[in-house]
Amino acid sequence: MRVFCALLLAGVMAIPIGVDAFAADGPGRVALVIGNARYPDNDLVLTDAANDTQDIADELKHDGFDVETGVNLTGDAMQQALDRLYGKISQGSVALIFFDGFGIQSGRQSYLIPVDAQIWTEPDVLRDGFNLETILGEMNNRGALVKIALLNASRRNPFERRFRRYSAGLAPAVTPGNTLVLYSTALGSVANETQNDHSLFVTELLREVRAPGVNAEQALRNTQAGVISASKSEQVPWFSSSLATEFSFNPDSDRKPDVAKGVEKTPACEAAKPASAPGPEDLARDPVIAELSRRLAADPNDQVLHYKRGQIYAMKHAYRLALQDFNAAIRLDPKDVEAYNNRCWTLAAIGDLQPALKDCNEALRLDPGRADALDSRGLVNLKLGKNAESIRDYSEALEKNSLSVSSLFGRGIAKARSGTDGSLDLGKAKSMDPNIAGEFAGYGITECSP
C-alpha cells in the first residue's frame, strides 16, 4: 500500500489524451483512466498511482482506445468524466475503466473514492464514493458489448480508523455478462506498503496486455499469475470473468484492433489448445526476467532470485530454464518446500514423472498436508494413470482450498478416467476459469483423451 501527503489540493485536473480514429466499419473502444494520488487525509503522495495512470493511458491509446485521463479528481470531476465515458459508448463497443487510488468496501460492494471525499461514517462512503457495480451496469445499459474494470485500489486507506466496523479491501462485484474485473489484491485484503514509482500490479498488467493476439481474459489471468509469482504469493489479485466474446487488447496485425467480435466459444475439447512456449528473444525482452537475471549476475547464490525467475519461466512454459533455476534454489536451500513443489509441477508438465513424484513427496514430507503440493502430486498421479491416487490427492487439496480450480478440474478428469462421473467438478472448474482446459492441455491432458 502507498500513502500520501496531507496537502489539500488547490485544484483538480483531468488530462485528455488523444486517440486514433475509430474504424468506420465497427464499434469503438473507449476508456477512462483515473489516478487519484493526492488525498488530504493521507500523509504521502501515491507516486505509483500518478505514474501508473499515464503508462496505462499510453498503452490503451496504442491499442486503439479513445482514452480520457483524470488525475486527482474530485467527486464532481469524477462524475463528469464518467458521464463523458458513458456518452462515448455505442452499441457493441468496448468500455474500460482503470482506477488507481483508494477503494472502500461497504455493504459488500466496492466504491471508488474521489480526492475530496469527506468520509467519517460508513454512510459517507455511499454518498461520496462511486459504486463499481453501478458503473459497469451503466456501461452495459449504454450498449457496451465488453465491459472491463481494472482497479489498483486495494490499499489500507486513511478513513478506516473512523469506522467502528470496517471491512478491508474490496468486495466481489456482481457484473453484467461479458465483463472482466481485475483487482490488484484478493477480496478483503490490501497491498503491502511501498513507495515505488510504479506498482507491481500495473507492471505485470502492462506486460501482459502488450502481448499480441492474446485474448483479454487470458492477459488478465496472466497478470494475476505474474503478480502472485513476483510477490511470492504475498499479493494475489482477484479476477472475475463472464466474457463470452473474442476480444484482445493488442490483436494480431491482421485483425482489426477496434472491434469486439461476438464469437461463441468452441467446445471444450476443441478449445483446449496448449499455449506455445515463448522464444529466446521473447524471454530476453521480458523486463522482470531481465531484472532478475541482472541481479543474479551480481549474486549467483541468491536463492530467492533463482526461485522467482524459475516461477516466471515455468508460467511462460520455458520449463527447461525453470528447472535450472529450481535446481539452483534447492541446492542453495535443501529445505525450500516451494521450490520442491514448483520443480515437481514443472517436471510433471514436461512428462518427467518419477523425479516429479519424488519432489512432491519431499515437499509433503517437509510440510505435510500442503495444498499446492497435493495439487501438484495429483497432476503427477493423473499423468501416471494412477487415478485413485490422483483423486485422493486432489480431494485432500480441496479440503484445504475449496476454490482450487486446478484441483477441481484434475479431479474431474481422474474421476472420468476411473469410470465415475466427473462432470460436476469439470463444470465448476470451467465456470471459475474458462481457460483451465487449455492449461491442462499444456500438460497433455484433455477431457477427450483416454
| CATH code of the domain in which 349 resides | 1.25.40.10
Counting the structural domains of the chain, the total is 2
- The reported pLDDT for the residue numbered 129 is 87
Q: Is residue 119 part of a domain?
A: yes
**If we measure between CA atoms, which residue out of 187, 156, 190 comes closest to residue 171?**
187
219 and 289 share one domain: no
- The reported pLDDT for the residue numbered 326 is 94
304 and 187 share one domain: no
297 and 224 share one domain: no
Residues 203 and 224: beta-carbon distance below 8 Å: no
Residues 183, 171: Cα–Cα separation, whole Å: 10
Q: What is the grid cell recorded at 177?
A: 455478462
- The conformation of residue 11, written as its DSSP 8-state character, comes to -
149 and 237 share one domain: yes
Q: Is residue 39 part of a domain?
A: yes
**If we measure between CA atoms, which residue out of 124, 110, 183, 197 comes closest to residue 151?**
183
183 and 108 share one domain: yes
189 and 154 share one domain: yes
Q: Is residue 181 part of a domain?
A: yes
**Residue listed under C-alpha cell 454518498:** 127
Residues 80, 116: Cα–Cα separation, whole Å: 15
- Taking CB atoms within 8 Å and a gap of at least 24, the contacts of 381-386 are 381/357, 381/414, 382/410, 382/413, 382/414, 382/417, 382/445, 383/348, 383/351, 383/353, 383/443, 383/444, 383/445, 384/353, 384/357, 385/417
332 and 419 share one domain: yes
- The conformation of residue 147, written as its DSSP 8-state character, comes to E
Q: What is the grid cell recorded at 143?
A: 450498449
Residues 147 and 140: beta-carbon distance below 8 Å: yes
Residue 320's domain spans which residues?
A: 280-441
- The reported pLDDT for the residue numbered 123 is 79
- Name residue 389's amino acid: E
Out of 221, 237, 264, a domain closes at: 264
Regions in the chain scoring below 70 on pLDDT: 1-27, 40-50, 120, 154-169, 188-198, 252-281, 403, 431-434, 448-450
Out of 234, 264, 294, a domain closes at: 264
75 and 100 share one domain: yes
Q: Is residue 4 part of a domain?
A: no
Q: Is residue 152 part of a domain?
A: yes
Q: Is residue 286 part of a domain?
A: yes
